[in-house]
A = this chain, B = another copy of it.
Amino acid sequence: MGKKPDLLPGTLDMLILKTLTRTPMHGYGIAQSIKRQSDDVLTVEEGSLYPALQRLLLQGWVKAEWRMTETNRRARYYTLTATGRKQLGLEVSQFEQMIEAIGRVLSDAKEA
């Protein structure tokens, strides 16, 4: 029947960028972070995550470098760039505007 999506389409890039504002992280960690901070409501599948990171790299919104994790594992760390931070602000404001607009439609307020 109606299968619930793992996340709201169109919001993944924003969520990733936001997650990277705190500190550089590797892909796996980004997914874990989003899942945890959303109380397991949002799940980022690997098949969504890595293509998204490629997009962000291509746009220049993040940069990447190979490093070792604390547990001595090879991992690719992503860092938010200046333009990435700007983009995040843009996406957040557009998102909030949309949410408000949807809220107006969903509310039962009568119109003229």
Contact = CB atoms under 8 A, between A and B. Distances in A.
A111 B95 CA distance: 24
Nearest to A97: B41
A98 B2 contact: no
Q: Quickly give the copy total for this chain.
A: 2
Contact of A105 (B2, B5, B42): B42
Instruction: Using C-beta atoms within 8 Å of the partner chain, give the interface range for chain A.
Output: 35 or more
A18 interface: yes
A10 interface: yes
Interface of A: 2, 4-5, 7-11, 14-15, 18-19, 34, 36-39, 41-42, 87, 90-92, 94-95, 97-102, 104-106, 109, 111
